[in-house]
Structure 1
Amino acid sequence: MHAASHPNGEPRADVAVVGGGIVGLMIAWELVRSDRTVRVIDPDPAGGASYAAAGMLAAVSELHYQEDALLALMLESAQLWPGLLDSLPEGTRDTGYRTAQTLVLGLDAADKRALTDLRAAQARHGLEVEPLSVREARRIEPMLSPSLSCAFHVAADHQVDPRRVCRQLIAAIGSRGGSLVRASAVALLRAEPGENARVTGVALDDGSGVLAGEVIVANGLGASGLGGLLAPLESALRPVHGDILRLRVPDRLRPLLTATVRGVVRGHPVYLVPRDDGTLVVGATSREDGLSGVAAGGVYQLLRDAQALAPAVAELELVEVTARARPGTRDNAPLLGRMRDTDGESIAGLVVATGFYRHGVLLSPVAADLCRRVVDGESPSSLDAFHPDRFSQAKSKEPV
């Protein structure tokens, strides 16, 4: 299909995707593959949380208590990643995808108790986690500290490089006729009459607009700034800032690590993700202190804890320090599906995909699949727990 122009000169598309991070780009790729015209709207594609993300596809390691529905979604998405990568055109498959094992480590006795409890929870969900002796862990990764209290092996968790994935998705979308609009969305366009009439497109900050049969809002924290029909998201989303480091491993220390290392150091989580370009990603803090820039204490904590697990980290070159805000929700689960009006009826033409918090990279394939199914007219049952207006709807049903 080819894009046409509205009589007013506004570009028309089958779908407008607001947000050019990994979630929005993955959705756009899924939709162009279904022979739809797609326009992705973002002033700085792949420059937000996706730029900072480490890219761990860690459904097993990321298990948290009382998140059963989210776990099922993560496991489903992890299974979708290989097929998604195979769907990319030749020449756009350099995504840094690695199936290297993951080691989960604890430093002291309290860390060991916490990770042992986590392993018990993982076992109850049928997730495979193998305990290792510290000696066995150091046989796999000789640069690990001998002072560890425990080690576990997770074979199912993998990784990608989100920056490379986003670059390749942009190229792939373009190869199928999709286009990128480097502008900010400021409002939704709606058909008249009626406050909750069908959404027909997006107004941009340069005074222009994009008309579309469907609008998918996938711009993270920016979703709440569109107001109007999306006003309920203002109280549903919160910024959770994270600091993340990138270090270069000198030739004499390569490979510093071959496995992804996830550790708990005196109660603080830290991860070390080796890249095939000789760099190491160390992250990430989780702050709700209002500081949008890099936190000095966060950098100190990450370096301290990374060195506790792998002492040679002190000999690496610190090449990048980044901070970004991740879109969190009250239950740490995404806001995903059709928006509903105050009567609980679905709003035609409007789909939301945000609130992915720390799981945006992992969940992007399943989010794309579900959004495409919604646009196709389906109502997937797996979305029932993730309605984008579930918090406001629940509040409206409280007795007075």
Structure 2
Amino acid sequence: MPAKEGCHPVSIARPRPTLAVVGGGVIGLTSALAAVDAGHRVTVHDAGTADRAAWVAAGMLGSLGEGHPGEDDLLALSAASVRRWPDLVARLGDPTVMAATESLFVAASSADAEYLANLAEFVWSRAPRSQDDLRRVDLAEIRRREPGLSSRLHSGYLVVGEGAVDNRRLLTRLRDALVGAGVHFVDERVGDLDDVDADQILVAAGLGTRSLVPDVALHAAKGEILRLRRTRWSVAQPARVIRARMHGRQVYLVPRDDGIVVGATQYEPLDESDAAPEVGGVSDLLADAVDLMPGLRTYRLVEAAAGLRPGTADGLPIIRRVDDRVVVATGHGRNGILLAPYTADKVLELLTDGWVAAGELSSTTEGVEPS
């Protein structure tokens, strides 16, 4: 029926789709932010456990540093996610979320230097980088760039554009951005997805995902980190991430405003309910860190913590649609913060496009997209 003269047709706005995010860790919060920016009405169900691993992390954004021979797919995902990080930091409106923008890989011995050389040849060469972004450095340049490091180091590599974020500041800014966008937080543990009132559900509950989506296969990997606080008598913290190979063991130093994060161990826990740090891991980290940077003796040990990271058999994250209503994003292992913006984009595709049928994806995305 035509509208009467002088009347205007009534426009009925379609309601925005609703999304419930189960899990308040970095994957859940970053995905929630992408969804709310895309027009979803979002509720986050957070029992306060999914963010444990992110809370004790160092926040490194190292696609090369996290690469190992045979992990080409993970390296491609990591590189794709690193390229997305500047946009995420800009969205959060706080450049101090970035803790460093470069990484210095150092070797304590000739054997350690050979290990780094093999890494450079078989892993790093697969990532597209200019000569200036990745280059070998000798001891003199290491000491010039980071005078607090040991004078007994052998050699290393400087990687530009591969830094770290302040993980705790990141989690705070993500929550601030979500609250500012009208996202509702519910402090509760979800026991059954049928009880969740939303058009779609994203399950990003870390190891807790297994109880909600039983066909998701995960195992726990335990990792310990230390937080050292600088005193007025201490040497300055490094200006960049220091990733060291110390006589066959790995240790890294990641700068913070008030000190350094030292990490990290990784092993299979005997009991997944035990998230306490172990003496052996803490002892090894302290010994290697002080050998790497002798001035750390004057720092204060203010925290020793451990997190349980959700891992998968092939090392790749699980980002897939379970059914018409449920999407899952978990299994990021040691790379949860690194892969957060990539995961958020993939989750948004699954939420909005609906082109993936339930059960069609395997352990990660449907093919690796480096863009």
Task: Supply the distance in 1 between the matched residues of 2:145 and 2:362 (Cα, whole angstroms).
Answer: 40
Q: CA deviation at 1:100?
A: 3.2
Which residue does 1:29 correspond to in 2? 33
The size of the alignment, in residue pairs, is 344
1:352 aligns with 2:328: yes
Report Cα offsets for 1:19-43 as digits up to 9, x if no partner: 1001100000111111211011111
Q: CA deviation at 1:45?
A: 6.6
Q: CA deviation at 1:109?
A: 2.4
Match runs of 1:320-339 below 5 Å = 320-339=303-322
Q: CA deviation at 1:94?
A: 5.8
Task: Supply the distance in 1 between the matched residues of 2:169 and 2:237 (Cα, whole angstroms).
Answer: 22
The counterpart of 1:265, out of the listed 242, 246, 250, is 246
Q: Which runs of 4+ in 1 moved over 6 A?
A: none
| Cα pair 2:228 2:299 within 8 Å, conserved | yes
The counterpart of 2:259, out of the listed 257, 276, 279, is 279
Q: 1:94 to 1:183 in 2, by over 3 A?
A: farther
User: What letter matches 1:108 in structure 2?
Assistant: S
Task: Supply the distance in 1 between the matched residues of 2:150 and 2:361 (Cα, whole angstroms).
Answer: 45
Q: CA deviation at 1:286?
A: 0.4
Match runs of 1:227-376 below 5 Å = 230-233=213-216, 236-275=217-256, 277-290=257-270, 292=274, 293-339=276-322, 347-376=323-352
Q: CA deviation at 1:389?
A: 12
1:87 aligns with 2:91: yes
| Cα pair 2:224 2:305 within 8 Å, conserved | yes
| Cα pair 1:335 1:388 within 8 Å, conserved | yes
| Cα pair 1:94 1:165 within 8 Å, conserved | no
User: What letter matches 1:123 in structure 2?
Assistant: S
Task: Supply the distance in 1 between the matched residues of 2:225 and 2:50 (Cα, whole angstroms).
Answer: 16
What stretches of structure 2 of length at least 5 have no aligned partner?
Answer: 1-12
Task: Supply the distance in 2 between the matched residues of 1:375 and 1:242 (Cα, whole angstroms).
Answer: 32
| Cα pair 2:63 2:78 within 8 Å, conserved | yes
User: What letter matches 1:118 in structure 2?
Assistant: L
Higher deviation after alignment, 23-32 or 126-135: 126-135
Which residue does 1:143 correspond to in 2? 148
**TM-score for the superposition, normalised by structure 2:** 0.87
Which residue does 1:158 correspond to in 2? 163
Which residue does 1:61 correspond to in 2? 65
1:117 aligns with 2:97: no
User: What letter matches 1:161 in structure 2?
Assistant: D
| Cα pair 1:221 1:327 within 8 Å, conserved | yes
Report Cα offsets for 1:248-304 as digits up to 9, x if no partner: 1122334231111001112111110011x2210000110213252110000000001
| Cα pair 1:61 1:154 within 8 Å, conserved | no
What stretches of structure 1 of length at least 5 have no aligned partner?
Answer: 5-11, 190-202, 204-209, 340-346, 391-400
Q: CA deviation at 1:379?
A: 4.5
Q: Aligned to 2:301, what secondary structure does the other structure show?
A: strand
1:218 aligns with 2:217: no
| Cα pair 1:244 1:323 within 8 Å, conserved | yes
Q: 1:32 to 1:95 in 2, by over 3 A?
A: farther
Which residue does 1:102 correspond to in 2? 103
The counterpart of 2:184, out of the listed 175, 179, 182, is 179
Q: CA deviation at 1:322?
A: 0.7
Q: 1:252 to 1:100 in 2, by over 3 A?
A: farther
Q: Aligned to 1:252, what secondary structure does the other structure show?
A: coil
Q: 1:389 to 1:374 in 2, by over 3 A?
A: closer
User: What letter matches 2:265 in structure 1?
Assistant: T
Task: Supply the distance in 2 between the matched residues of 1:367 and 1:113 (Cα, whole angstroms).
Answer: 34
User: What letter matches 1:265 in structure 2?
Assistant: M
Q: 1:67 to 1:268 in 2, by over 3 A?
A: same
Q: Aligned to 1:222, what secondary structure does the other structure show?
A: helix
Q: Aligned to 2:320, what secondary structure does the other structure show?
A: strand
Q: CA deviation at 1:99?
A: 4.2
Task: Name the Cα RMSD after superposition.
Answer: 2.3
Q: Aligned to 1:101, what secondary structure does the other structure show?
A: strand
1:75 aligns with 2:79: yes
1:131 aligns with 2:132: no
Task: Supply the distance in 2 between the matched residues of 1:283 and 1:314 (Cα, whole angstroms).
Answer: 16
Q: Aligned to 1:74, what secondary structure does the other structure show?
A: helix
Task: Supply the distance in 2 between the matched residues of 1:379 and 1:137 (Cα, whole angstroms).
Answer: 50
Q: 1:240 to 1:19 in 2, by over 3 A?
A: same
| Cα pair 1:240 1:327 within 8 Å, conserved | yes
